[in-house]
Structures are given as structure tokens and as C-alpha cells.
């Protein structure tokens, strides 16, 4: 297991659509190591998720985990989940306004509309089928990570650029209001 460097906005790897993996490739030592490194790097950086292009690997793999996260202390918990070749299907047209940040976009946060409810289909790290529904704030996290596989960063989806702020100004100006919004989303969707 090794920590990898995290690609920063401006590097072309973040703007290339990642390619799917075959099951044989997934089970190869190279890709298994890549996934172990992806998880370790996510943990080290206190990320809620990390996608393979963010560690300079253009394949359709991402990891998500939310525990006690110092970057996002208000987020509902998500157990460690590895998605390989994920497909997200919105189950509603309803959206909510999420305040996002990204390890590849230093010191910037902004508001992004995300679907409230999604079906997630993918393989796990060992190639087992995953098929589940995610809702609310957690659904936003899944959409953010899978966007990375399609070369999309959250800033591309910020509809009102006046919502952009530094992490310090988020804490000062927006945190309390957003936590109230999160509470009402969690109350409705349970996550
Ligand atoms: Zn990101």
C-alpha cells in the first residue's frame, strides 16, 4: 500500500474520460494495488471519496467512505464502498443544493444541484455485483465521485458562480446555514 499524489485542477488527467475495466483487469495485482492505494490516499487526505483519475489512473474506479470526517463533519456516514464501472440512474427529477469541495480543486467550495435519489450499479473491488439505492446528502457524494470518471469537476456544475468561496469563508459565512439545510435533507431522506 502506498500513498499517491492527488492530481490538481489543470492537469489533463482530470479532463479525460476514464475507461472501463474488464473483470480480468480488475482482479490483476496491478489494479488491486491501485484500489488499495486509492483507499489509503483517500483516508490520508480526509476525503469523503476519491476517484482513480485523481491519482493519475484513467480507469472507472472510485472509493467513497464517510466516517467522522474533519473536512465534512455534518455528512451522514457511508461505509467504505469501492465502485468499479459504476452506473448511476436518478430515481427522481428532484434535486437539492449541495455545498461541495474537492481534493483536486484546492480551497474552493460551491453550490451544486444533485439528484436526491439514485440507483447505483457497479462491481466492488472483487468483482461482485453491487446494486443499491442512495439518497440525500450521500447521493450527492456518489454523483461527485462518478462525475470524476466522466472528466467532470464540481465547478463545472456550479450554476451560480457567486456561491464559490474559500474553505475559510465557508466556515465563517455559510457553514451554519448549510448545516440547517443538511439537517432537513437528512430528516427527509435518512442520509
Ligand atoms: Zn472531487
Distance 146 CA to ligand 1 centre (A): 9
Distance 185 CA to ligand 1 centre (A): 21
Active-site residues, by number, are 145
| pLDDT band with cut points at 50, 70 and 90 for residue 89 | very high
What is the rounded distance in angstroms from the CA atom of residue 181 to the CA atom of residue 30? 42
Distance 45 CA to ligand 1 centre (A): 12
Domain ranges across the chain: 12-189
| Percent of the chain at pLDDT exceeding 70 | 100
What is the rounded distance in angstroms from the CA atom of residue 45 to the CA atom of residue 73? 14
| Position 191 pLDDT exceeds 80 | no
Distance 144 CA to ligand 1 centre (A): 6
Q: What digits encode the pLDDT tens for the residues 140-187? A: 999 999 999 999 999 999 989 999 999 999 999 999 999 999 999 999
For 12-189, CATH number out of 3.40.50.10860, 3.40.50.300, 3.40.190.10, 3.90.45.10 equals 3.90.45.10
Task: Give the predicted TM-score (pTM) of the model.
Answer: 0.96
Amino acid at each position: 500500500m502506498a500513498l499517491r499524489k492527488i492530481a490538481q485542477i489543470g492537469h489533463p488527467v482530470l479532463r479525460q474520460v476514464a475507461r472501463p475495466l474488464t473483470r480480468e483487469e480488475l482482479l490483476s495485482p496491478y489494479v488491486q494495488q491501485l484500489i488499495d492505494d486509492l483507499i489509503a490516499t483517500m483516508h490520508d487526505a480526509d476525503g469523503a471519496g476519491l476517484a482513480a483519475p485523481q491519482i493519475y489512473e484513467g480507469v472507472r474506479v472510485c472509493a467513497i467512505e464517510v466516517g467522522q470526517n474533519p473536512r465534512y463533519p455534518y455528512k451522514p456516514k457511508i461505509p467504505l464502498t469501492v465502485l468499479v464501472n459504476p452506473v448511476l440512474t436518478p430515481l427522481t427529477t428532484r434535486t437539492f443544493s449541495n455545498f461541495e469541495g474537492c481534493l483536486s480543486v484546492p480551497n474552493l467550495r460551491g453550490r451544486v444541484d444533485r439528484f436526491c435519489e439514485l440507483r447505483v450499479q457497479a462491481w466492488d473491488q472483487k468483482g461482485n455485483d453491487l446494486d443499491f439505492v442512495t439518497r440525500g446528502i450521500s447521493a450527492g457524494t456518489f454523483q461527485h465521485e462518478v462525475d470524476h470518471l466522466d472528466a467532470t469537476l464540481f465547478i463545472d456544475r456550479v450554476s451560480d458562480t457567486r456561491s464559490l468561496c474559500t474553505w475559510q469563508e465557508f466556515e465563517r459565512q455559510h457553514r451554519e446555514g448549510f448545516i440547517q439545510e443538511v439537517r432537513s435533507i437528512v430528516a427527509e431522506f435518512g442520509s
